[in-house]
Amino acid sequence: MAPSHDNPKKYNCAEIEQLAQKYVDNLLDKQQRKLFDEHLEYCLPCDKKIQFEFKLREIVRNHARDNYSTDFLHSKIKQILEIPK
Ligand SMILES: [Zn+2]
């Protein structure tokens, strides 16, 4: 591989935020995923955010199985989001 004069493409935090849903849904292609993972390695806030997204997925999935109403889920998610910093 020839060295490039350009910086290798890196995702910034805004891009990570945009791609977060696709990441947790496993919809990113290999290259995107790699860049995404690289960003998470040095960016703690994004890493935390993604972990949170995964947790949220899990909760939604678990509760969906129990046939909770959408309203219930929304309030549950809101509770989680309101965790003080
Ligand atoms: Zn970031």
pLDDT at 4 over 50: no
pTM score above 0.75: no
Q: What is the mean pLDDT of the chain?
A: 84
| Residues with Cβ–ion distance below 5 A, ligand 1 | 13, 43, 46
Token pair, residue 15, equals 């891009």
- Give the contacts of 40 (CB within 8 A, at least 6 positions apart): 16, 46, 47, 50
What average pLDDT does range 24-53 have in this prediction? 95
The angle formed by the CA atoms of residues 51, 54 and 9, to the nearest 5 degrees, is: 65
Structural domain includes residue 57: yes
Ligand 1 centre to CA of 65 (Å) is: 32
Structural domain includes residue 8: no
Count of alpha carbons within 13 Å of 72, Cβ hemisphere only? 9
**Cβ atoms 38, 10 nearer than 8 A:** yes
Structural domain includes residue 4: no
The angle formed by the CA atoms of residues 7, 9 and 10, to the nearest 5 degrees, is: 105
Domain count, the chain: 1
Structural domain includes residue 2: no
Structural domain includes residue 67: yes
Ligand 1 centre to CA of 82 (Å) is: 21
Ligand 1 centre to CA of 70 (Å) is: 30
Ligand 1 centre to CA of 12 (Å) is: 6
Domain span at residue 50 reads 13-81
Structural domain includes residue 3: no
pLDDT at 46 over 90: yes
Structural domain includes residue 7: no
Could you tell me the pLDDT band of residue 73, with boundaries at 50, 70 and 90? confident
Of 79 and 34, the one with more pLDDT:
34
Ligand 1 centre to CA of 62 (Å) is: 28
Structural domain includes residue 21: yes
Of 59 and 39, the one with more pLDDT:
39
Of 84 and 46, the one with more pLDDT:
46
Number of H helices and number of E strands within the chain? 4, 0
